[in-house]
Amino acid sequence: MAPEYILIEYTGRDDTVAIKYIDEMDFKGKKVFVRADFNVPLDKEQNITDDIRICETIPTIKYVLDKGGAVVVASHLGRPKGKVAKEFSLRPVQKRLSELLGKEVLFADDCMGDEARAKAGALKPGQVLLLENLRFYAQEEKNDEEFAGKLAELADVYINDAFAVSHRAHASVEAITHFMKECGAGFLMKKEITSFEKALNNPQRPLVAIIGGAKVSGKLEVLENIIQKVDAILIGGGMAFTFLKAQGMEVGKSLVEDELLETAKTIMQKAKDRGVRIVLPVDCVAAREMKSCVPYKTISVKELTPDLMGLDIGQETIAEFGKVIKDAKTIVWNGPMGVFELEEFSRGTFAVIDQIAGSSAMSVVGGGDTDSALRKSGKMDKITFVSTAGGAFMELLEGKVLPGIKALDK
């Protein structure tokens, strides 16, 4: 029976991408190159402090092994800038990966060359080989074809399970697919793509987007794209004050991008024309400085004076956001509601987490700061899907087709 292909449609773009997923492929007797994202945090003793990215790729590796294949795993770690750096070695990952798989994972001290070829060539079904850091070579980030060809020599089949780097056209993400006869996406990639597709392109309505973070400039393309898709947008974080000032309000020392005031007005008008409700803060937690242990108070956004800055959303805003979240059937969230790293200004972000966690809506959450706040809350299991990516998630929100996904187009 011929394998089916999944069509991923990106509304607002001309591209339609057909992807073959791992559970539609045959791996018996084959060597499989799995591009993973093992860019995990390490302490000074080279101990892994958060192994979630390794854990997320285990189902893909195990599936290949269970189907009679051998696995060559490749990843980057940190930013060695094209040079060998001991502190960015994947040796600690080899140890943890072995523990999670319950079997020895072989290691090659290079990602190409004689040792890598010999060890990959000797792999038997059921065995796993981890290559050393791809970014020890500058050619990786340059999407170098020759480098990609050498990686491709190590296996018969290519599987991308590294969604978090799929917004980059790197050799192990994009160029390598030019040399492989069969390419597909792993289970993590499948979860990321299908969850996003369901939330933004085929949602149950009302569809609500919650957008926060510091600056409008970092979310312009996101806002432009989601206005065409959502029913309501809740705007928090520092970026809210650019919108409030665009409405003629005094925002004191709050973070504002004055050069984007007209852009903010345009976005609000486009939303109005499309019948999309934009909900802005009505009150905020304000202080004279952005640091711990300073006096702060909750005031109406209309009461901000030149000596104050808004650093979190207030209780009235939390309540207003909560009404919209309660009625939502689908929720997409990116960006905190305030300076959540400081306890005094974290309540808004954690209140929104509580509201989403208590909702029956499908919820998709992504972005580094948002993910950090969610982990700190202890309510990860209450969210339908939490993206492992920051930049890649943002580019999907912007309506872009990621190079790593486009490269899998069959």
Write out the catalytic residue numbers. Answer: 53, 215, 368, 391
Hey, is 213 helix, strand or coil?
coil
Encoded amino acid at 220, one letter: L
| Closest listed residue to residue 170, CA positions, set 133, 143, 134 | 143
Neighbours of 78 (CB within 10 A): 16
> What is the rounded CA–CA span in Å between residue 140 and residue 79?
12
> What is the rounded CA–CA span in Å between residue 404 and residue 37?
13
Q: Cα-flanking dihedrals φ and ψ of residue 386, to 5°?
A: -115, 120
- Beta carbons within 8 Å of 197's beta carbon, 6+ residues apart: 8, 9
Strands 6-9 and 16-19: antiparallel
Hey, is 351 helix, strand or coil?
helix
DSSP element (H, E) containing 277: strand 277-279
Contact (CB, 8 A) for 340 and 365: no
State the Cα torsion 49-338-343-354 to the nearest 10°. Answer: -80
First-to-last C-alpha distance (Å) of the chain:
17
Q: Cα-flanking dihedrals φ and ψ of residue 119, to 5°?
A: -70, -40
Look at the chain and count its residues: 410
**Distance (Å) of CA 48 to CA 43, 81, 166, 320:** 7, 21, 23, 40
Encoded amino acid at 314, one letter: G
